[in-house]
Amino acid sequence: MKHFYLLLASCLLLACSQRPAETSTDENEAQLQAQRFLSEYTSQYKSLYYASAQAEWAANTRIVPGDTTNAWQVQQANEALARFTGSQENIEAAQTLLENRAELLPLQVKQLEVILYNAANNPATVEALVSERIKAEAAQTQLLFGYDFKVDNRSVSTNDIDNILKGTMNLDSRLNAWTASKEVGRDLRQGLLNLRRLRNETVQALGYDNYFAYQVSDYGMTTQEMMELNRQLIRDIWPLYRELHTYARYELASRYGQQEVPDMLPAHWLPNRWGQDWSPMVNVEGLDLGPVLEQKGPEWIMQQAERFYVSLGFNPLPQSFWERSSLYPAPADAPYKKTTMPRPGIWTWSRMYAACKV
């Protein structure tokens, strides 16, 4: 998720540089040079990012067992983007321009810093390592999103698993469903360990201790400061969480007919396979949006979201969004399937928009 926010921030910041370089008599030579570089960089970045978005979207919406074509296309597109963002030429140009940061516009400074931050994840000085990391990321994505989840030896979707955890009272069925949702971890483990190594070694080439330190630096913090902030947040919310946790233990024990209230909440008792959403535990009488939304259809929900951001001054979605979007499950007899793992909402729709835009 953090990876997406970085790319989104990059696109937004760099998009701001799309203006003629010599439009203001107040601009000094340093600003003009910076603007020329930023405009050229942005043009190439947008083109390469668009190709990357298309490749990744295809890899998520058309999964053919045994076919590695999509993974190869993702690797090729992401390597092209990495070669550009991590090129020594771009790094040196940004560093040189920042030597005169006092003469640059604040926005230009931010844009150049984003360029260097992106470069640190794909430095040309370790091009072979970056290529290996991108290949490993593509392989993990294909493995995760193409995984065949099974409950009682029957293939199921993650929606099926979610529905069991939201509505089934039988604890054995719940445990089977929850366990099935975690089985993919066995297949992912070795690849994740390798990916951790590759990500650490990639950013270490530009002086970061590890990939965590690299990402934390985007917040202007050290790893120690970030960890202390998280500990403080936990300390702050602990009294409230303790009360909610106690309520949940007693409420769920009663709901499932358990005489003994456990000290820790069994994960399969919760209505969410990650234990992150407890809202289905509460049933508000008279409030059921399901039947209403079913009558509207998936297009209506997206249209309401579109109306909201258009009201903020953004342009309507292009027609290609509606033609290429993945709003529906694959047909039952389709020779392919779509991702079995839902993405965080903002990643899904923003990545979809990037891949579908004209």
Q: Model confidence over 286-315: pLDDT tens digits? A: 777 778 888 887 788 889 999 999 999 999
Looking at the fold, whether 75 and 208 belong to one and the same domain comes out as yes
Q: Model confidence over 170-214: pLDDT tens digits? A: 999 999 999 999 999 999 999 999 999 999 999 998 889 999 999
Structure tokens at 344: 């965080």
Long-range contacts of 271-276 (CB under 8 A, 24+ apart): 271/165, 271/166, 272/162, 272/165, 273/158, 273/161, 273/162, 273/165, 273/177, 273/178, 273/181, 273/182
* Number of C-beta neighbours around residue 27 at 10 A: 17
Looking at the fold, whether 2 and 122 belong to one and the same domain comes out as yes
Does residue 355 register a pLDDT over 60? no
Looking at the fold, whether 195 and 46 belong to one and the same domain comes out as yes
Residue ranges of the binding site for chloride? 219
Looking at the fold, whether 109 and 46 belong to one and the same domain comes out as yes
Residue 225 within a domain: no
Distance, in Å, from the CA atom of 268 to the CA atom of 275, rounded to the nearest integer, reads: 8
pLDDT at 336: 73
Half-sphere exposure for 235 (CA within 13 Å, toward CB)? 6
| pTM, to two decimals | 0.72
Q: What percent of the chain has pLDDT over 70?
A: 87
Close Cβ partners of 63 (under 8 Å, ≥ 6 residues apart): 70, 142, 145, 146, 336, 337, 338, 339
Looking at the fold, whether 136 and 157 belong to one and the same domain comes out as no
Q: How confident is the model at residue 227 (pLDDT cuts 50, 70, 90)?
A: very high
Distance, in Å, from the CA atom of 48 to the CA atom of 191, rounded to the nearest integer, reads: 26
Looking at the fold, whether 84 and 216 belong to one and the same domain comes out as yes
Phi, psi of 338 (to 5 degrees): -105, 170
Residue ranges of the binding site? 219
Residue 333 within a domain: no
Mean pLDDT (the chain, rounded) = 85
Looking at the fold, whether 1 and 37 belong to one and the same domain comes out as yes
Looking at the fold, whether 133 and 12 belong to one and the same domain comes out as yes
pLDDT at 339: 67
Looking at the fold, whether 141 and 154 belong to one and the same domain comes out as no
pLDDT at 17: 52
Residue the block writes with tokens 């949702």: 181
**Sign (positive/negative) of CA torsion 52, 57, 58, 59?**
positive
Does residue 346 register a pLDDT over 50? no
pLDDT at 290: 78
Residue 231: its H or E element? helix 223-255
Residue 248: its H or E element? helix 223-255
Residue 285 within a domain: no
* Number of C-beta neighbours around residue 216 at 10 A: 21
Residues spanned by the domain of 318: 290-327+339-358
Structure tokens at 117: 């931050």
**Highest-confidence segment of 117-131, 227-241, 266-280:** 227-241
Distance, in Å, from the CA atom of 123 to the CA atom of 83, rounded to the nearest integer, reads: 8
Looking at the fold, whether 131 and 252 belong to one and the same domain comes out as no
Residue 44 within a domain: yes
Domain count, the chain: 3
Distance, in Å, from the CA atom of 52 to the CA atom of 56, rounded to the nearest integer, reads: 6
For residue 159, the one-letter residue type is N
Query: CB–CB of 229/143 below 8 Å?
Result: no
Residue 126 within a domain: yes
Residue 75: its H or E element? helix 69-85
Query: CB–CB of 136/195 below 8 Å?
Result: yes
